[in-house]
Amino acid sequence: MTGEFEAIERFRQLLPGPPAGETWIGDDAALVVAPRGGLLLAADLVVAGVHVDLDLVGLDDMGWKAMAVNVSDIAAMGGEPTHALVAVAAPPETDLHVVFRGIADAVEAYGCPVVGGDLSSGSQLVISVTIVGDAGNRPPVLRAGALPGDTIFVTGPVGGSAAGLRVLREGREDEAKELADAYRRPQARVSEGRAARRAGATAMVDVSDGLAADLRHLADQSGVGVVIDNVPVRDGATMDEALGGGEDYELVFTATNAGHVVAAFAETGLRQPIAIGRCTSDPNERRLGEGELPVAGWQHHWA
Amino acid sequence: MTGEFEAIERFRQLLPGPPAGETWIGDDAALVVAPRGGLLLAADLVVAGVHVDLDLVGLDDMGWKAMAVNVSDIAAMGGEPTHALVAVAAPPETDLHVVFRGIADAVEAYGCPVVGGDLSSGSQLVISVTIVGDAGNRPPVLRAGALPGDTIFVTGPVGGSAAGLRVLREGREDEAKELADAYRRPQARVSEGRAARRAGATAMVDVSDGLAADLRHLADQSGVGVVIDNVPVRDGATMDEALGGGEDYELVFTATNAGHVVAAFAETGLRQPIAIGRCTSDPNERRLGEGELPVAGWQHHWA
């Protein structure tokens, strides 16, 4: 949305800032120290016609997505989603049961129950989900924290969601069902996020805006440079889709000891993350191979 | 919204239910036992053209209201709001800064910081707020729990919000500013809710749907009858507005020992709550004076 960054920055200026030890607006999820301990909090909207095209995906897919993108924000902190709240504004003709079925699928997949919410009429289908997550006993993994020399990993090939959208637009979902599903039913990487955290990840972000854009967020907030020499492109996707497409929800993280990462992922039986580059000490360096890491993707998150 | 109850009931059937000691969908806020202790969670939407008429109130008032109605849900459990998340879908021409100013006013008034959220374009202004509250060390006050013989209290006269809406529609806000403000800037009764809880309140609900409807919710969920002999109507409001108007956000609560209530409110310097009737042992009794308590108001909350 035009002027979104500026609007959010002006909003921040109206608001009190976090006390020491808390992270509010600006990371994947907020970290707060409630009276009874550390909590992760994430809230993202999914709007029909803006984030999803209901000619291409089902109402159940939209419900799933609203849950998954928020679960992913908790995953990107290395946290565990514990409770969801779901608020829906919907035109009267909406088949809410189908929306709710997709939400219920995600509740089951992520073990994250819906404990409350709201329902209203509206001119456009809007699903607003808030996820509460457990921060655990140690500090979660923020976007800031990467160190020069750290290896950069991604939990899987990217570009599948953008390729899936292309496939759906071309009406070819029957011949490329896996890609279409990557768009319709993105997977949040909760176990991977926890493994990365256990392995000592220094910074982490989910690939929601596109690998290039999310790498830039991580580098900007950590104050490091990045040099990428390997972009794992999902089968059937293009390099542009991998770098700029977004909505893959794989996790990008940095770690000082790559051996710890291999061990932590092996221990849990998860697919090994892919090393894609390293952090450097020049905070302005944003390199892909011999060129510049593109500025791409659409940044709409603020926690 | 038509079919809302049915849709929510069908959604509930798709979802896992709460473990012992938790309260999910169906009260003012959800009570959950997170890994680190008890939390209250409330999420309500405010939709332009549905919940507010932007010809009558400002964008800042809408922002305030989205916060206040959710803070009120925490107040109605006897809890303390600690953190807010705000997700906004807005048409491109919306002056977001004015929306955010109203939200910031409520952040200050209730000491409840915004720690995250989201912003998206949309065809209609929708503000979705989630409030996290501290449940404290003892169980919060649910809608269920009232006992036959309990005295029923309300924290202040009601009908002001509906009267304020009428005044605004008639263009008479200059001569009845207090009523107009009751509609534009409803007040959540956090201190009153905590005092009621300390006084041993057995059940509590906020007057969001109208005194008659909310009394019915409390009685239905507690399995008691109610006999009302005193409806405190706000100056300038009608009896119909008091019983059916809603959006007053005063708290209705029940207590077995009325003396404890007087003492708890006196101790904190709050205006004394008003005794309006009593609970009876006939679960079907819904009496107002010599007649039937009206079935009125618009129920849209599910947590």
pLDDT tens sequence across A130-139: 999 988 877 8
pLDDT 10s digits, A31-88 = 887 665 678 999 999 999 999 999 999 999 999 999 999 999 999 999 999 999 999 9
Fold of A151-292: Phosphoribosyl-aminoimidazole Synthetase; Chain A, domain 2 (3.90.650)
The CATH code of the domain at A4-134 is 3.30.1330.10
Quote the CA–CA distance of A267 and B261 in Å, as a whole number.
58
Mean pLDDT of B108-137: 93
Name residue A52's beta-bridge partners: A48
- Which residue on chain A is closest to B96 by alpha carbon? A7
Residue of B291 and A31 predicted with greater confidence = B291
Mean pLDDT of B186-200: 97
pLDDT 10s digits, B17-65 = 888 888 888 888 888 876 656 789 999 999 999 999 999 999 999 999 9
Å between B261 CA and nearest CA of chain A: 26
- Edge-first strand order for the sheet with A291-292 is A203-206, A251-255, A151-154, A274-280, A225-228, A286-288, A291-292
- Calculate the dihedral angle through the C-alpha atoms of B266, B272, B275, B278, rounding to the nearest 10 degrees: -50
* Residues of B with Cβ-Cβ distance to A123 under 8 angstroms: 49, 123-124
pLDDT for B139 equals 84
- Which residue on chain B is closest to A15 by alpha carbon? B104
* Residue boundaries of the structural domains of chain A: 4-134, 151-292
Å between A270 CA and nearest CA of chain B: 25
Phi, psi of A216 (to 5 degrees): -65, -40
> Same CATH fold, A151-292 and A4-134?
no
Q: Test B122 with A24 for CB contact under 8 angstroms.
A: no
Q: Given a cut of 80, is residue B105 above it in pLDDT?
A: yes
Neighbouring CB atoms inside 10 A of B99's CB total: 25
Å between A52 CA and nearest CA of chain B: 12
Quote the CA–CA distance of B179 and A147 in Å, as a whole number.
58
Q: What is B63-131 written as a DSSP string?
A: HHHHHHHHHHHHHTTT-EEEEEEEEEEE-TT--HHHHHHHHHHHHHHHT--EEEEEEEE-SS-EEEEEE
Å between A221 CA and nearest CA of chain B: 17
Enclosing H/E stretch for A104: helix A96-110
Residue of A149 and B12 predicted with greater confidence = A149
Mean pLDDT of A108-128: 95
- 3-state SS, residue A219: helix
Asked whether B200 and B145 are in contact (CB, 8 A), the reply is no
Asked whether B131 and B79 are in contact (CB, 8 A), the reply is no
Q: Test B115 with A24 for CB contact under 8 angstroms.
A: yes
Confirm or reject contact between B52 and chain A (CB < 8 A).
no
Q: What share of chain A is helix, strand, coil (3-state, %, to 5)?
A: 35, 25, 40
pLDDT for B266 equals 96
Confirm or reject contact between B109 and chain A (CB < 8 A).
no
pLDDT for B299 equals 40
pLDDT for A301 equals 37
pLDDT for B91 equals 97
Mean pLDDT of A2-25: 80
pLDDT for B138 equals 79
Q: Test B32 with A83 for CB contact under 8 angstroms.
A: yes
> Which pLDDT band holds residue B1 (cuts at 50, 70, 90)?
very low
Q: Over chain B, what is the mean pLDDT?
A: 92
pLDDT for B178 equals 96
CA angle B295, B299, B302 (to 5 degrees): 140
ipTM field: 0.92
Q: Given a cut of 70, is residue A221 above it in pLDDT?
A: yes
- For B276-300, letters b (16+ CB in 10 Å) and e give bbbbbeeeebbbbeeeebbebbeeb
Mean pLDDT of B217-226: 97
Angle of helix B190-198 relative to helix B59-75, nearest 10 degrees, comes to 10
- Optimal mutation site among A2, A4, A114, A128, interface B, most CBs of chain B within 10 A: A128
Neighbouring CB atoms inside 10 A of B18's CB total: 17
> Which pLDDT band holds residue A21 (cuts at 50, 70, 90)?
confident
Residue with tokens 């202790």: B37
Asked whether A136 and A79 are in contact (CB, 8 A), the reply is yes
Assigned token pair, B8: 């929510």
Q: Given a cut of 70, is residue B240 above it in pLDDT?
A: yes
Residue of B295 and B129 predicted with greater confidence = B129
